[in-house]
Each structure stands twice: as structure tokens, then as C-alpha cells.
Amino acid sequence: MKGITTSKTARPVKVIQFGEGGFLRGFADWMIQKMNETTDFNGNVVVVQPIENGLCDLLTAQNCNYTHIIRGAEGVEKTCIDVIERCVKPYEDFAGYLALAGNPDARFIISNTTEAGIVFDPACKMTDTPPASFPAKLTLLLKRRFELGLGGFILLPCELIDRNGNNLKRTVLQYAELWGLGDAFAAWVERENVFCNTLVDRISTGYPKDEALDLGYEDKMVNTSEFFHLWVIETEYDIEKEMPFSKAGLNVIVTKNELERYRTRKVRILNGAHTSMVPYALLSGLETVKSCIEDKTMHDFLDACLFEEIIPSLDMSHEELTAYAESVLVRFNNPYIKHYLSSIALNSVSKFRVRVLPSILDYVRKFGKKPPHLLFSFAKLIEFYKKGTPNDTPEVMEYMKTASVAEILSNRELWGEDLSALIPEVEAYANS
């Protein structure tokens, strides 16, 4: 069968993108395609593979073109994406990576390196080629940009952590101080770069495994998602004058101070629903989100987590939260989407800390008692790391496998605080 076309429209490279996974290709790159087709944006993307092993070789084999398929009750929409000009692999071509700083057309930096990506690792050195952490890699790129006398970037991190733009800037400045890059560089980072806080919302399911797609051509990088998409960008800067989301009809909200409300709703309900059920579901032999909705035991458990514990823990409009949760369950039941639980399970410990633990703690503070279903989920998370097939850093997987429940819950490094108060209930569920 003939492969996907490798022809490509020549456009200025305006975006440097850290991450080549299914989410960014079905979210940001899809949006850039729409803007290129319907507005005067006229920009392409260079993808940076942020880890040593990734998908860039597969992308490059297709000249970085791929098919994105959106499916749901609304129907099916197929888009051929040609906005990725090329991929750069810093672990193989570090000089080529730093050379990206010299492109005066490059204006945006988009990233998605998971919740564990925006971290300060003091072991990273300025002489590493490249340093391990994403912010350290970014700092060296910004340093080269500064040395070339060029203007800064608009940074749109998509990592699902609170105030992701603020945290990314703070971490970059930590590296600047650690490496002695000087006051002038730090001032340039602050003055010339716009670090936006963002929230992203789209269920992106990547390559459709075990499914025959009648494309009429071979495409090893097919990507799939639902129709729903939302990007909330919090910034004082008028980003729409450079990236015309609204003109392209995209569901992008640019706000000066409203992001937190959207973020809390999405992280606690949509992402919290995923993370609270995934370990339990995988240990129960289920494979996809839809199979959880179709399984009565899992569906009842998910309903209890959402409507009895997560929503009551939030100080927001009950009607708005309930409506959003019900829409999430409809999205989970999308007949076209095979959202594999194994893909959601990546870095489950850090995800649980961000997505589920705040609901547990807020429920305790608000009601003076502990939420049984979410604590059961906590026990299943620990069991999953001991008996299941987790996908996390080697250090986290080894610790979770060998440490006791009490040791795990009292580990401040994992959770940001000592959770010993939860030990009796979590131990009871772990032994049930």
C-alpha cells in the first residue's frame, strides 16, 4: 500500500516543540494546521525529542507528516498534518539542537514532558550535552538565544501542573543561578520571554492499536482524538495577534486571571477520574477507559469517586461541576476511542499527587472524615506498583515495589507532605 504523502508546504518555522507524542500532535500541531489552513499564521514546527528514546525516527521516516483522526458522536474528521518540518534529537545532535536558537522566525516554545518534566535537578550541568531535565535543556537554548542577541519566546508549556509557566520560568532561573549565567541573562529571561500558564483538555488516544483503518495509504504515525478540545492560556500578552486561534475557530480561551477555575475543574474531575480508576482497572484486567464505563463495578466506583467525593470536595458551583462530570463520562464512553489505561498509567505516582491527592485532602478538611473510594484508589495505586506493570522512573518503581504502605505514605518527597494520617485506611484497603 502506498504510504502517506511526504510532500510538505514550505513555511517559516515559528514553533519549537518539546515532545513528539500523540497529545501534542493531536492538539497543538492540529491547531497549527487549522491556523495555517484558515488564517495568515503561516508557520511550521520543529520537534525536539526531549528524551533519548522516542518517536522521532518514525516521524522522520514519513517526512514528519501524519494523519489525525477525530471521532465521536459528531462523526469522523480526518486531517493530514504537515506542519512539522523536522525533528531534532539532542542526545544525538546537541549542536543541531542549540542551533534552533539562531532562527529569528522561531517565536513560540510548546512543551509536554508530563507532570514530572518541569523539575529542577541540581545534578544537571551546563556542560552536559544534553542535561537530563527539560528545563535545563531549555535554559541552554535560551542562553544561546541571548548570546546571539535575538528576542525571546512565548512559552506555552502543556504539562499538567499548577502554574506551569510560572514554574518553568522559576526553574530556568534556578539553573541560571546554579550555572552562574549572570544578571544580564536572568534579566533577559524575565524581560524578553513570555511564560504563559496554560491548561489543556483533549482526550488524545494516539495510534489506534488493533484497529484496521481504511486510509487508502500506510501511515505508521496515525493519531486519534475526540472532537472536544480546550486550551486556556493565562497571560497579559496579546498572544492572538501572533497566533490567531479565534480566527481559526478554535476553542482557545486567552485570559488574564481565570485559568485556575478551569484548571481545578479539569484536573480534579477529568484527570482525577482517570488516575483514580486506572490502577484498580488494570489490576482487574480491564484495558481501556470505555471498558471501565461498560463494567458495572468500575463504573459504580468511578461514579462514587466523582459525585460523592471529588465534586463535594470542591468549593465551586455544584451544578457546573456535575454537568462537567457528566460530560466527561460521555467523553469516556466515546465509541470510537480506545484510550488505553496503560498509556494513562505513565508516571502514576506524580499524577496521583497532582490529580487525586488534593481531592482527598480537601475532603478531609471540609468534612472531617476520609473519602473511602479515593483512599481505596490510593491502596490500588500502591498495589499496582507492587504487583502490576507500572511505567515510571526506575527509582520510583523500585521504591514503590519494596517500601511498606506506611513508608510510602510518610514519604514527603513523593507527596509533598507526610500522609501518615491516611495509613490505617489505606493499609486496610491494601489488605482487603
Residue 285's region, left for phi above 0, alpha for psi from -120 to 50, else beta, is left
What pLDDT shows up at residue 6? Answer: 86
Largest CA distance in the chain: 63
Cis peptide upstream of residue 394 (ω within 30 degrees of 0): no
Query: Mean pLDDT, consecutive 10-residue segments, the chain of 432 residues?
Result: 84 98 96 98 98 95 96 91 98 98 98 89 97 97 98 96 95 98 98 97 83 87 93 97 98 94 91 96 96 97 98 94 93 86 94 96 98 98 97 95 97 97 96 78
| Residue of 432, 329, 430, 344 lying closest to 382 (CA atoms) | 430
- In the chain, residues under CATH classification 1.10.1040.10 are 260-430
Range 13-257 has CATH code 2.40.50.140? no
Contact 426, 375 (CB under 8 A): yes
Contact 67, 4 (CB under 8 A): yes
- In the chain, residues under CATH classification 3.40.50.720 are 13-257
Count CB atoms within 10 A of the CB of residue 71. Answer: 19
Report the half-sphere exposure of 226 (CA within 13 A, side-chain side).
Answer: 20
For strands 108-111 and 13-18, give the pairing: parallel
C-alpha cell belonging to residue 133: 531535565
What pLDDT shows up at residue 177? Answer: 98
pTM for the structure as a whole: 0.77
What pLDDT shows up at residue 118? Answer: 95
Locus of grid cell 501542573:
161
Long-range CB pairs of 421-430 (<8 Å, 24+ gap) are: 421/364, 422/360, 422/370, 422/375, 422/378, 425/370, 425/372, 425/375, 426/375, 426/378, 426/379, 426/382, 427/379, 429/375, 429/376, 429/378, 429/379, 429/380, 430/379, 430/382, 430/383, 430/405
CA atoms of 221 and 208, how far apart (whole Å)? 10
What pLDDT shows up at residue 169? Answer: 98
Contacts with 245 (C-beta within 8 Å, 6 or more apart), sequence order: 31, 35, 231, 252, 254
CA atoms of 284 and 282, how far apart (whole Å)? 5
Please give the sequence-ordered ranges of beta strands (E in DSSP) within 49-100, or none if there are none: 66-72, 75-81, 84-88
C-alpha cell belonging to residue 76: 469522523
What pLDDT shows up at residue 418? Answer: 98
What pLDDT shows up at residue 160? Answer: 84
Contacts with 373 (C-beta within 8 Å, 6 or more apart), sequence order: 276, 301, 304, 305, 308, 309
Contact 232, 273 (CB under 8 A): no
For domain 260-430, which CATH number applies: 3.60.15.10, 3.30.1220.10, 3.40.50.300, 1.10.1040.10? 1.10.1040.10
Helix ranges, 105-201 (H): 134-147, 164-178, 183-192
Count CB atoms within 10 A of the CB of residue 212. Answer: 6
